[in-house]
Amino acid sequence: MEQTPMIRDLINDLRTDLPVLIAGPTASGKSGLALAIAEACGGVIVNADASQVYDCWRIISARPSEQEEARAPHSLYGHLPFDAPYSVGHWLREVRPLLAGPRPIIVGGTGLYFAALTEGLADIPKTPPEIRIEGNAQTLDAMIAALDPDTRARIAMDNRARIQRAWEVQRSTGRGLAAWQDDTAPPILAEGRYHGIVLDSPKDWLTPRIETRFDAMLSGGALSEARAMLDRFDANLPSCRAIGAAEAIGVVNGDITHKQAVESATIATRQYAKRQRTWARARMGHWRHVDAQALCED
């Protein structure tokens, strides 16, 4: 991202002794802003995107390129194999020691990661493997029906990963996820101990960026990533739930056309961006909200 006057003003406002947290919807320019801050002020860019921790989807998950990674230190990007178990708890444990080193610039679209870092994380026991297998076989409606009302009110009803996680917690502990969350330990980064930035992205500006991005991904290497994963792809694995992964596999298998893949992935990405905007309004109201369009076009 070019250092426009607006970006320079934003960078000048950042005290160098506090971590910087950058959130916002997909395709809003978060990684570009993080790189601009790192190049101007130093620090380590730390991933806070659940899909970008895996080594199989650099292009599909929009991980920083090798060229971008060479311009500033990066951490927690592509460091896990496709089938590694990983949760917000794993991420929080990996982030904690990074806070003691060069200033972290934590950037991503997974709101739950930021919530765990700045609001605290419940100490929920690990899910037994047999419960996870049982959950994989459940329908979405069956899992939703089994959740307690408090938990149901807190999670998006169209997000299978979150619903299954809540179902697994309740099934394995006999206690709803909401109850566990209410017994949350103090956060690692309390309010006032970080710079929180949200890139607000007008829908009419963001949608065209989303529509062109996946088309560019398919033409720019995503199909090669899909071919490399053909014999390992498992829709139940968190890594394989990255938006666009199933569509790229479908193109490689000849099940859908390039155009159909773009249409399907674009719809899913727009829906995800809407959930991200909703999360930011509800949970990050006290962060600094910046107009992403103005930031990019200033």
Q: What is the pLDDT of residues 63-107, one digit of tens each?
A: 999 999 999 999 999 999 999 989 898 999 999 999 999 999 999
- Among 56, 16, 109, 21, which Cα is nearest to 228's? 56
Between 157 and 226, the more confident residue is: 226
Cα distance between residue 281 and residue 72, in whole Å: 30
The strand order across the sheet containing 195-200 reads 74-75, 44-47, 104-107, 20-23, 195-200, 288-291
- Among 157, 146, 148, 142, which Cα is nearest to 179's? 148
Cα distance between residue 178 and residue 170, in whole Å: 10
- Among 130, 184, 179, 112, which Cα is nearest to 152's? 179
Local confidence band at 121 (pLDDT 50, 70, 90 cut-offs): confident
Q: If you average pLDDT over residues 27-54, what whole number do you get?
A: 95
Local confidence band at 2 (pLDDT 50, 70, 90 cut-offs): low
- Among 169, 160, 161, which Cα is nearest to 131's? 169
Q: What is the pTM of this model?
A: 0.84
